[in-house]
Amino acid sequence: MDDSVFNAMTSFQFFCNDFFKQKNIDKLMPKNMIRSDWNNRKEAILNEEIESVNRYLDQQALLRLQNYTTSANKGDIEKRFNDIISRVMDNYKAKVKDYYH
């Protein structure tokens, strides 16, 4: 693995780790929402949260990929970013589902 690929991958992994450390999943229930409303809308709210986080990470990956426009390793870096996003999103989905179900 090329040093630039390793550095990009490591940097993005650290970014994702820091991002999820700051996420507070116990506050996904909107304030002042009645418990019955929460129970009726919980699945939709959680799915929106997961989609929002996934979009954000995709955007961050694209921003970082712009730094490698001339790099021959851009495809490798993009694949590794996608792998990282898939892995962290699977973990986040499981964490959210375990917490709220």
Contact 81, 65 (CB under 8 A): yes
pLDDT digits (tens, 9 = 90+) for 71-99: 778 888 899 999 999 999 999 999 999 99
| Alpha-carbon distances of 28 from 35, 45, 90, rounded to whole Å | 13, 8, 18
pLDDT digits over 7-25, tens only?
888 999 999 999 999 998 8
pTM score of the predicted model: 0.88
Contact 73, 2 (CB under 8 A): yes
